[in-house]
């Protein structure tokens, strides 16, 4: 038996540091199971598979803004670092794919930030969730976020900030539902927390109660409308159809 990151480093001929980073980013698998703990003890004949994220695709750009299709398993700040002089206007969770916007000049960034603050930005998502949803669901419950080593959010009427989520059924496949989601607030893990609260956690979201293993949380930011313009990202294959 040996620690997972050391076995991976030997197998892929990379440094221990790089191997640990790949595991921590959720990119390493044994068969169809994600390796979650870099220091986990595994048999020395374990075969690892590394699945690197897709390339970052620019959806639109001008002097004010860059809109990209963020692949799953890439941190939003990694994308900011890839575009010199650009600044994130909002963020997506590491495992969430889809439209991510960056500002390019101070005046536009100021106007964009104000639009977010006034809840004048509309964000559309698509997700696969646990259970069957036949009717629209409107969730208007305050969310409080605890930020320690890993952010965790929960419904909290006293400490929470306003959060509004509208869920509309799209497709049902077995005991899973594909849903379209609209939000005009952007609380940390808002969609994930709201859906879990009504008994329909996002598939693969073990942090908030999903019992279905998946390569990532099946949530995609399909479009965002900011200052009168809409930016859209096509659905990746794992969102287009479940399994």
Residues 188, 172: Cα–Cα separation, whole Å = 27
**Cβ-based neighbour number of residue 155 at 10 Å:** 15
Is residue 140 annotated as part of the catalytic site, yes or no? no
Residue that has been written with the tokens 């994600």 in this structure: 34
Identify the active-site residue in 55, 63, 64, 93: 93
Strands (E), 13-64: 28-30, 33-34, 41-42, 49-50, 57-61
Closest by CA position to 186, among listed 233, 145, 127, 148: 145
Quote the longest CA-to-CA distance of the chain: 58
Consecutive H or E run containing 43: none
Residues serving a catalytic function are 93
């Amino acid at each position: 038996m040996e620690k997972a990151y050391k076995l991976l480093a030997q197998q892929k001929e990379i440094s221990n540091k790089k191997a640990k980073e790949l595991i921590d980013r959720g990119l390493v698998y044994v068969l169809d199971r994600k390796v979650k703990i870099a220091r986990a003890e595994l048999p020395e004949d374990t075969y690892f598979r590394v699945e690197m994220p897709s390339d970052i695709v620019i959806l639109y750009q001008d002097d004010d803004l860059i809109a990209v299709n963020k692949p799953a398993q890439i941190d939003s700040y990694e994308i900011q670092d890839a575009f010199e002089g650009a600044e994130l206007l909002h963020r997506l969770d590491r495992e969430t794919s889809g439209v991510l916007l960056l500002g390019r000049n101070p005046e536009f960034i100021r106007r964009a930030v104000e639009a977010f603050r006034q809840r004048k930005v509309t964000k559309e998502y698509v997700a696969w969730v646990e259970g069957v949803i036949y009717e629209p669901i409107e969730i208007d419950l305050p969310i409080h976020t605890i930020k320690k080593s890993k952010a965790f959010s929960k419904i909290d009427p006293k400490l929470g900030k306003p959060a509004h989520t509208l869920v509309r059924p799209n497709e049902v496949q077995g005991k899973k539902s594909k849903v379209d989601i609209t939000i005009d607030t952007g609380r940390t893990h808002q969609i994930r927390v709201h859906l879990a609260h009504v008994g329909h956690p996002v598939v693969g979201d073990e942090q908030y109660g999903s019992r279905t293993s998946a390569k990532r949380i099946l949530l995609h930011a399909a479009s965002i409308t900011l200052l009168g313009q809409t930016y859209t990202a096509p659905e990746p294959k794992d969102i287009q159809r479940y399994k």
